[in-house]
Chain A
Amino acid sequence: MSFAILLIGTFVRDSRNIVYFLTQFTLVGAAAVTIMTMDGQVNFTFSNMYVDDLMGDFLKLMLYFSVAIVLVYSRGYMQDRKIESTEYYMLAIYATLGMMVMISANHFLTIYLGLELLSLSLYAMVALQRDSARATEAAMKYFVLGALASGLLLYGISMIYGATGTLEISGVAQAIYHQAGNRTILMFGLVFVVAGLAFKLGVVPFHMWIPDVYHGAPAAITLFIASAPKLAAFAMAMRLLVNGLFELADQWQSMLMFLAVLSIILGNLAAIAQSNIKRMLGYSGISHMGFMLLGLMSGVVGGDRHFALNAYSSSMFYVVSYVLMSMASFGVVLLLSRAGFEAETLDDFKGLNKRSSWFAGVMAMVMFSMAGIPFFIGFFAKFSVLQAVVAAGYIWIAVLAVVMSLIGAFYYLRVVKVMFFDEPVDSTPLTASADMRVLLSMNGVAIAALGLMPQTLMSLCAYSLLGSL
């Protein structure tokens, strides 16, 4: 597979520039390999530990794409803060590798392996800014809570192993289908697995790390955490719950419903009170992940699997859209930051329209999109998820979700308000490299363009899931 290229990338330790370009090259190479080996078949390799299907390919392509963009955005920021070291790119590549493993895992242990590779890289990345007490604290918190979650997940996996006698995902599905094993143990296992998963997604009540880590980590790292790993977490949910424990859908759906509803409520309510934009986006991320779970929980209605494809692809579309929006929003935060200055509070966005109409416009598009206002991609993401929820008959949940997104609209509007209606407190011209400006602009345009023409991406999501259900 594409591991080889990745590893080469990490062994060259010349200057930072070389590593940066090599990393980007690695990602492009990995993407090329993924495209070349894409054949629409479901292939199992490494003695059934690893699966290569269309869903995996699609998510991996999105993953390379988003990591590449994240690296472009964060380069200037890291340079300004003198933390752009070889380690950063190495860790990013390791994290990417971990996510690739998660996306393509067909074994509970493979998932765990990929997850740990990702998490350990992320802990280290948060702590990269060694002289910042806040970042170190965030890293510590992240690590302790993350380790706990990993423990929960492992515990759950061990119970599932106890109940079914296998750890291979398709094997577990088979075993449950044949009513093997002790149901009670299986249920316990399921609860722990869902808890571990919820932690990684950052949904209520396992969200405690999100605001602090988003806030404490250097903005470039926050950008990383808030983008690509969400794709991997979605893949993990698909592999564990849908591929592995589909027979228990009724049980995990009610758990997910609980998590989703709580996340949407708490995420949106808590975000209102934030004056720090990173924290605000953190809470908004919680509610977005809640929305994503709404799709996952509407797949099976009373044993009828008819809706599954529609529901899961709406979730996938949601998570892809979210990653796109999240990258753009943190991209603007990075754009406004410069050496010795963090654009963190809402006040730093004041009067952005006077400083740069274009990027104020991009940020406004992102905010409207996150609030779910059409013609932007965020609307169609919400639309498709809500459609799945209504089709599954959970109308009251849909009503609750839209009421909460109304509350959400308030804090997104506040960002637009400070950018457009207030006078700037700081009129330093924006300093950002040309490649970042171009890419960020394209990112913003993509949010609008995909909102006008969402069909392609929607069908891609649905098509890539076809083989994996």
Chain B
Amino acid sequence: MTGIPFLSLAIWVPIVGGLLALATGSDRNASAARFVALFFALAGLAVSIPLYTGFDVTTSAMQFVESYAWIPRFNIYYSLGVDGISVLFVLLNSFITLIVVIAGWEVIQVKVGQYMAGFLIMSGLINGIFSALDGVLFYVFFEASLIPLFIIIGVWGGPNRVYAAIKFFLYTLAGSLLMLIALLYLFMESGGSFNILDWHQLKLGMDVQSLIFWAFLASFAVKIPMFPVHTWLPDAHVEAPTGGSIVLAAIGLKLGAYGFLRFSLPIAPDASQAFAPLIITLSLIAVIYIGFVALVQTDMKKLVAYSSISHMGFVTLGFFIFNPLGMEGALVQMISHGFVSGAMFACIGVLYDRMHSRQIADYGGVVNVMPKFAALFMLFCMANSGLPATSGFVGEFMVALGAVQFNFWVGFAAATTLIVGAAYTLWMYKRVVFGAITNHHVSELTDINNREFVFLAILAVCVLVMGIYPFPVTEVMHASVNDLLKHVAASKL
């Protein structure tokens, strides 16, 4: 591709916007900061759209490639490119950034410039993660994106925010530092290249593959998060401001899963095959056990956080059964979860802004005073529990089907999520929204205003369209997924 470097624009437009928002300074210029943020969020989305419209769905090769020498001393390139897997996430990320800016419009009243800047800069960095084709460039974006979220949780978060922010930062850093060693090792093994695509072709022995697989696993498992290392997520979600939760759930969790597809599977295919049973077991534990954990939560945000872990278990399950249905289903699930979990957190944010409580017990009968909100919230809850005709169904169904092909009992276990997921989500919905008005705080609630209606409605449209007609999404990823599976099937030993 020649012409306009859309990927670079998708990275740097939001970052520049973020710096400008920072430059607006104190809260006297808060509205200036908001409009700067809105403008650059829109611009960021605008420059991402050509990535989709100009995308060639017939090839699995990298597209929109840009490559410049960055640090020639270590052979590091500023090289970007997207394939059918990553392009969707660039779009999702730019889209969610816009939602977050709108969602924080009036809610955030202190240090507005810094808040908006944090999200814009994070958006640019995350686009960088999804489009980096150089190991160091990837790592740099991966790590740097921790800083904005750390600040966002710590400054605008809830009462226990400091603990949550530091826990979030250290957990993720712990994983990624091991990845750094793996990157350096691959650099040496490949004779001095940091190019990820070169690494895909690199022959490696089983021992080396295993070590590399574990190093990457340490990083990505924390980020996803997978079962034993998931404990940072509920804390981070509960304490984060609404915008932070939306981004974390919609995009943050996808980074780890994306890392599997970009690094672990193609670089260490034999180790991936060998350790697949382990990952599948962990995924099933996440799906079932964490699903039950979600059932007993009394805090709405915690409930959705656990449900996210459970859904991400589905994603890793889909990856490691190594069939096209499973992998595409997992990717659809990731995109869908981006919309649905983002919307769930946005809805909880709407309630929280009014009541300053996330406890399910403090609510009840919301439908009587907030009918518009109740309708939209219902849709998202349905999607979260995987009801047909919503986006949540497509991904879960595809993965479950793929899992049945792989092994009936694995598929059976995975499919229980449809029951457990429905149970915890709808039960929460029932307790919060339905019934009689339980206390006078609820009776004083006002329905959503136009701003809130707009961003929830946009998300609702996305959820429905993807649920009814997922083809535009699956079409894009098809070639890349097949190629990746072929690559994983071929031994590198």
Contact = CB atoms under 8 A, between A and B. Distances in A.
Interface string A450-468: 0000110011001000000
A413 B178 contact: no
A462 B71 CA distance: 13
Contacts of B177: 402-403, 405-406
Contacts of B166: 410, 413-414, 417
A443 B174 CA distance: 29
A402 B150 contact: no
A353 B146 CA distance: 19
A390 B178 CA distance: 12
B185 interface: yes
A66 interface: no
Interface in A350-388: 353, 357, 368, 373-375, 379-380, 383-384, 386-387
B114 interface: yes
A409 interface: yes
Contacts of A459: 72-73
Contacts of A248: none
Interface in A382-414: 383-384, 386-387, 390-391, 395, 398-399, 402-403, 405-406, 409-410, 413-414
A380 B147 CA distance: 17
A420 B154 contact: yes
Interface of A: 353, 357, 368, 373-375, 379-380, 383-384, 386-387, 390-391, 395, 398-399, 402-403, 405-406, 409-410, 413-414, 416-417, 420-421, 454-455, 458-459, 462
14 contacts: A368-B147, A373-B173, A383-B136, A384-B74, A387-B184, A390-B188, A402-B180, A409-B173, A410-B166, A410-B170, A416-B151, A458-B71, A458-B74, A459-B72
Nearest to A461: B73
A328 to B, nearest CB: 17
Contacts of B140: 374-375, 379
Contacts of B169: 409, 413
Nearest to B186: A390
A374 B162 contact: no
Contacts of A403: 177
Contact of B143 (A379, A391, A417): A379
B178 A402 contact: yes
Interface string B139-170: 11101101100110011000001100110011
Contact of A373 (B147, B161, B185): B147
Q: Which 5 A-B pairs have the closest CB atoms?
A: A374-B140, A402-B177, A390-B184, A421-B154, A455-B71
Contacts of B155: 353, 420-421
B411 interface: no
B446 to A, nearest CB: 31
B322 to A, nearest CB: 30
Interface string B18-36: 0000000100000000000
Contacts of B151: 416, 420
A455 B181 contact: no
Contacts of B406: none
A73 to B, nearest CB: 25
B139 A374 contact: yes
Interface size class of chain B, counting residues whose CB lies under 8 Å from the partner chain:
35 or more
A413 B73 CA distance: 30
Contacts of B146: 373
Contact of A409 (B70, B114, B139, B170): B170
A386 B184 contact: yes
Nearest to B174: A406
B154 to A, nearest CB: 4
B187 interface: yes
B173 to A, nearest CB: 6
Contacts of A409: 169-170, 173
Given A391-B188, A417-B165, 14 more contacts: A375-B144, A379-B140, A379-B143, A380-B71, A383-B180, A384-B74, A386-B180, A390-B185, A399-B178, A402-B180, A413-B169, A416-B154, A421-B162, A459-B72
Q: Which DSSP category, helix, strand, loop or mixed, fits chain B's interface?
A: helix
A379 B146 CA distance: 14
Contacts of B170: 406, 409-410, 413
Q: Which DSSP category, helix, strand, loop or mixed, fits chain A's interface?
A: helix
Contacts of A384: 74
Interface of B: 25, 70-74, 111, 114, 136, 139-141, 143-144, 146-147, 150-151, 154-155, 161-162, 165-166, 169-170, 173-174, 177-178, 180-181, 184-185, 187-188
Contacts of A386: 180-181, 184
A458 B188 contact: no
A131 B329 CA distance: 74
Given A386-B181, A386-B184, A387-B184, A357 B25 contact: yes
Nearest to A410: B170
B188 A413 contact: no
Contacts of A379: 140, 143
B185 A395 contact: yes
A374 B165 contact: no
A407 to B, nearest CB: 9
Contacts of B154: 416-417, 420-421
Given A387-B187, A406-B174, A410-B170, A399 B181 contact: yes
A343 to B, nearest CB: 21
A405 B147 CA distance: 16
B218 to A, nearest CB: 11
A349 to B, nearest CB: 14
A417 B170 CA distance: 13
Given A417-B165, A421-B162, A455-B71, A373 B181 contact: no
Contact of A374 (B73, B74, B144, B150): B144
B222 to A, nearest CB: 12
Given A390-B184, A420-B155, A413 B150 contact: yes
A414 B169 CA distance: 11
Contacts of A357: 25, 114
A398 B181 contact: yes
Contacts of B185: 390, 395
A168 to B, nearest CB: 33
Nearest to B179: A402
B187 to A, nearest CB: 7
Contacts of B71: 380, 454-455, 458
A420 B154 CA distance: 8
A455 B150 CA distance: 28
A462 B139 CA distance: 24
A103 B173 CA distance: 37
A459 to B, nearest CB: 6
Nearest to A387: B184
Given A374-B143, A374-B144, A402-B178, A462 B184 contact: no
